Chains A and B, each alone.
Chain A
Amino acid sequence: MDQFFRALILSAGYNTALVCIGATILGASAAAIGTFVLLRKRSLVSDAISHSTLPGLAIAFMIQAVVTGDGRFMPVLLIGATLSAVVGLFAVQWITSRTRLHEDAAIGSVLSVFFGLGIVLLTVIQTMNTGKQAGIASYLLGSTAGMLMSEVQTIAVASLIVGVLIFFYRRQFTIVCFDPDYASVSGYDVQRIDLIMMALLLAITVIGLKVAGLILIVALTIIPPVTARLWTDRSAIMVYISALFGGLSAYIGAAISSVDYGLPTGAVIVLVAFSLFILSLLFSPNRGVFAVALRRRRSIAELRALSAAAAAKANAGKAVESGSSYEDRASVNHGTATRQAAEAAS
Chain B
Amino acid sequence: MNQFVQLELVPLLVGVLASIACALLGNYLVLRRQSMIGDAVSHVALPGIVVAFILTKSMSTLPMFLGATVAALITVALIEFIKRIGRVESGAAIGVVFTAMFALGVLILERSDTSSVHLDVEHALYGNLESIVWFAASGWQSLIDPAALSQIPMQLPRIAIVVLVILAFILMAWKELAIGTFDPEFAVSVGARPKMTNALLVTLVAVAAVTSFDAVGSIIVIAMFICPPATARLMTNNLRRQFGWSVFFATASAVIGFFLAGHSAQIFRTPSSVSAAGMIATVSGAFLALATVAGPRKEGTRSAWFS
B residues within 8 A CB of A114? 285
What is the number of residues of chain A that contact chain B, defined by CB distance less than 8 Å?
A: 76
Are A108 and B225 in touch, CB under 8 angstroms? yes
Within the assembled complex, what's the spacing in Å between the Cα atoms of A242 and B285?
Answer: 35
A-B contact pairs, 28 of them (CB 8 A): A41-B89, A44-B36, A44-B95, A47-B95, A92-B305, A93-B305, A95-B288, A97-B304, A98-B298, A99-B234, A99-B291, A99-B295, A99-B300, A101-B233, A102-B33, A104-B35, A115-B219, A116-B279, A116-B280, A119-B126, A122-B278, A184-B307, A216-B102, A226-B92, A226-B95, A270-B103, A273-B100, A274-B99
Are A41 and B91 in touch, CB under 8 angstroms? yes
Within the assembled complex, what's the spacing in Å between the Cα atoms of A273 and B126?
Answer: 27
Within the assembled complex, what's the spacing in Å between the Cα atoms of A267 and B106?
Answer: 7
**B222 touches A (CB below 8 Å):** yes
**B270 touches A (CB below 8 Å):** yes
Within the assembled complex, what's the spacing in Å between the Cα atoms of A104 and B82?
Answer: 19
Are A96 and B102 in touch, CB under 8 angstroms? no
B residues within 8 A CB of A117? 278, 281-282, 285
**B110 touches A (CB below 8 Å):** yes
**Given A120-B261, A226-B96; 8 other pairs, CB 8 A cutoff:** A96-B304, A113-B223, A114-B285, A116-B284, A223-B96, A226-B92, A229-B86, A271-B100
Are B234 and A101 in touch, CB under 8 angstroms? yes
- Name B's A-contacting residues (CB within 8 A): 30, 33-36, 38-39, 43, 82, 85-89, 91-96, 99-100, 102-104, 106-107, 110-111, 121-122, 125-126, 219-220, 222-223, 225-227, 229-230, 233-234, 261, 270-275, 277-282, 284-285, 288, 291-293, 295, 297-307
Tell which of B30, B94, B234, B281 touches A112, judged by Cβ atoms closer than 8 Å. Answer: B281
**A234 touches B (CB below 8 Å):** no
**A206 touches B (CB below 8 Å):** no
Within the assembled complex, what's the spacing in Å between the Cα atoms of A310 and B107?
Answer: 59
Within the assembled complex, what's the spacing in Å between the Cα atoms of A46 and B85?
Answer: 24
**A134 touches B (CB below 8 Å):** no
Are B277 and A124 in touch, CB under 8 angstroms? no
B residues within 8 A CB of A102? 30, 33, 35, 303
